[in-house]
Amino acid sequence: MKQVLSILLKNQPDALVRLIGVVYRRGFAVESLSVTPAQEPAYACVQAVINDCSASTQLLHQVRKLVPVVSADILSADAVLPKTSLPFSSRHLTT
């Protein structure tokens, strides 16, 4: 079952890197990640969808310890916005 972490971060240059570092070190695979500006410009809203619900509470406690994190909660999978097709999703990128 999917778990959605909803996180409010201080909008600092290294805040997202620190958050992803905790998720990476704990070995979680992120299915999707969404970062949007909050109503106040000093903050950013992050939603991360992960597949491992067995240790999501432990991850939540670790994320809450980070300095740039203002709040963090686990939402139900129904709270995730449905996937939309992006205009570039059907194109093949070449290098």
SS3 93: coil
DSSP line for 28-85: PPEEEEEEEE-SSTTEEEEEEEES--TTHHHHHHHHHTSTTEEEEEEE-GGGSPPP--
| CA nearest to 7, candidates 52, 51, 43 | 43
Q: What is the pLDDT of residues 25-39, one digit of tens each?
A: 988 888 899 999 999
Q: Using pLDDT thresholds of 50, 70 and 90, give the confidence band for residue 86.
A: very low
User: pLDDT tens digit string along 3-61?
Assistant: 899 999 999 999 999 999 998 998 888 889 999 999 999 999 999 988 877 778 888 99
Q: What is the pLDDT of residue 84?
A: 45
Calpha distance 78→3 (Å, rounded): 10
Please state the rounded mean pLDDT for residues 65-88.
72
Domain boundaries, the chain: 3-79
* Residue 56: per-residue pLDDT: 83
Q: Which residue in this structure is represented by tokens 């805040």?
A: 15
Token pair for 41: 């410009």
Q: What is the pTM of this model?
A: 0.77
Pick the CATH number of 3-79 from 3.40.640.10, 3.30.70.260, 3.30.70.100, 3.40.50.300: 3.30.70.260
